[in-house]
Structure 1
Amino acid sequence: MKILLTGATGLIGSAVLSALVADGHRVTAVVRSQASSLKVSDQGATGVIGDLFDAPWLASELRGHDGFIHTAAGGDDRDPQLNDAVITAALDAFAGTDKPFVHTGGIWSYGSGTDLVETADPAPPSLTAWRPAGEQRVLESGLRASVVQPGIVYGHGAGIPAMLVGGVDDGTLTLVGSGDQHWAAVHVDDLADLYVRALTNAPGGKAYIAASGDNPTVRELGEAVADTVVPESDEETVARLGPFGEALLLDQQATGQRAKSELGWQPSRPTLVELLAKGYSTAG
């Protein structure tokens, strides 16, 4: 299929691009610069410079494609507007078709829980309070549209876990909160495989929590990279990291069972603790 992909230069999007190309798809990547266009070209995609906030432009591009995966994030307070524009474009372009659309949500939308599943009510932290409405809009669109909800994404020395490595000072790491909270984790290459499976096999109308089933505590992660770990209060974490800290304090465990049972997803990469203990290099 000819697939339009957003976020192709990011951690998730670049892994999805590689997985799509490996699966035999032709990929057009929406980028913001000529340099990014050259970068995605090296991975086997065709770059097109465009503005994701321009819903009519994006819808026009989408009409010439067989499917769409959205992984882009603005990384600032414009994320809600960006997602609204992208969803509007997809629903406009794919109305009346069977073309698949895979949207990116997030596991933080469910709040804390020891066995998070897709039927749980939303309870997001303030950082992502805007996200559930967009996810629901996608799922109720009547299109062949799915939502992938990644946990804590890791791999290749990148993602949120890299802040743990970078936070070690003379062998000591200050934890996020007490460190007793769990993070539902997923390797970015396993995650990319799920996106491709959702694109090609999902019927639409369903969300898929992307969590491998490995749910380490933050203390376990810290002890994998530092000789000494020092807890802090929740209040200290929020004072240090703001709303991002509130999200990292969530205690989340999940197995990703729906994706495994319905889409045949089989995460196989090393665990986050294993990679951190080995130095968390770009190779892992």
Structure 2
Amino acid sequence: MKIVLTGGTGYIGSVVLQQLVAAGHAVTAPVRSEEAAAKVRKAGAEAVVGDLTDTAWTAPLFAAADGVVHTAAPGDGTSEQFDRAVVAAAVEALAGTGKPYVHTSGIWVYGDNPDITEDSPFAPPALTAWRRGVEQAVLDADLVASIVAPGVVYGHGAGIPAGVFGAARDEQGRVRLVGDGAQHWTTIHVEDVAALYVTVVERGERLGYVIGASGVNPTVRELGEAAAGGAGVAPESVEASRDRLGAGFADALLLDQQTTAAKARSLGWTPTRPTLVEELRAH
């Protein structure tokens, strides 16, 4: 397939790019700079430099492909406008064509829930509340659309867990927990979630939401203890976590979430990489 992949130099997108190329697909990655273009070309894909928020530029690029995978994210206050622009280009280019469009969400849109499925009610924290309107626009359009909702992504010493536990030490050298650490996180290795994107776009079906998670849902205390080794952990109050991490981010990390991700497995996808607990112990 000829696939346009946004975010091809990002944490998740760069691994998706590698796996798409390895699977024999011809990948074109829009990027913002020649430096990023060089990284994409080195990975075996074609690079085009431009602005994804410019629908007049993006839509023809999407139209020339057999499918589009959107993983790019500015990760700041412009995220909603950015995604809306990409979705507008996807609708203009792909509506009614039968070509697959794969969008990116996140597990936090489901809020606190001990047994999340794709049909669970949405209850996003303030940090990701903007996603709902954008994603509904994707589903309402005449698109062969799938929305991958990754859990907390880790792997290769990066991702949210590395940031949260890597430098969060108190005066005694203990790893600071987020809150008391009783909450569960849904988790997924970056290599595994990348494989899910490949599976979804190759199927070329309208799948709606697909949760990307390993089915392993450790507590934050378990994760902190794995990262701490023998140093121990330091629980803190919700207010202290919000002061330390920022209210929006802390509230998302305080969500208590679990899932089996059964729908993803029904597509023939199987996570195979080490668990987050194993990775934190190894580092």
**Shorter-normalised TM range:** over 0.9
Instruction: Name 2:73's counterpart in structure 1.
Output: 73
- The equivalences for 1:66-215 within 5 A come to 66-163=66-163, 164-168=165-169, 171-215=173-217
Secondary structure of 1:253's aligned partner: strand
Q: Deviations over 1:15-61 (max 9, x none)?
A: 10011001100111111110100011111111111111111210011
Aligned mates of 1:194, 1:141 — CA distance in 2:
23
Instruction: Name 1:247's counterpart in structure 2.
Output: 252
Counterpart contact for 1:68–1:100, Cα < 8 Å: yes
Deviation at residue 139 of structure 1 after TM alignment: 1.9
Deviation at residue 171 of structure 1 after TM alignment: 3.4
Deviation at residue 200 of structure 1 after TM alignment: 1.1
Aligned mates of 1:171, 1:44 — CA distance in 2:
43
Secondary structure of 1:232's aligned partner: coil
Deviation at residue 166 of structure 1 after TM alignment: 2.4
Of 89-98 and 197-206, more deviation after overlay is shown by 197-206
Deviation at residue 225 of structure 1 after TM alignment: 1.4
Instruction: Name 1:12's counterpart in structure 2.
Output: 12
TM-score (norm 2): 0.96
Deviation at residue 174 of structure 1 after TM alignment: 1.1
User: Is the counterpart of residue 233 in structure 1 residue 234 in structure 2?
Assistant: no
Secondary structure of 2:116's aligned partner: coil
Instruction: Name 1:270's counterpart in structure 2.
Output: 274
Aligned residues: 278
User: Is the counterpart of residue 25 in structure 1 residue 30 in structure 2?
Assistant: no
Consecutive unaligned residues in structure 2, runs of 5 or more? none
Aligned mates of 1:202, 1:44 — CA distance in 2:
23
Secondary structure of 1:83's aligned partner: helix
Deviation at residue 96 of structure 1 after TM alignment: 1.9
Deviation at residue 205 of structure 1 after TM alignment: 4.5
Aligned mates of 1:43, 1:115 — CA distance in 2:
38
Secondary structure of 2:112's aligned partner: coil
Secondary structure of 1:193's aligned partner: helix
Letter in 2 for 1:81: Q
Deviation at residue 105 of structure 1 after TM alignment: 0.6
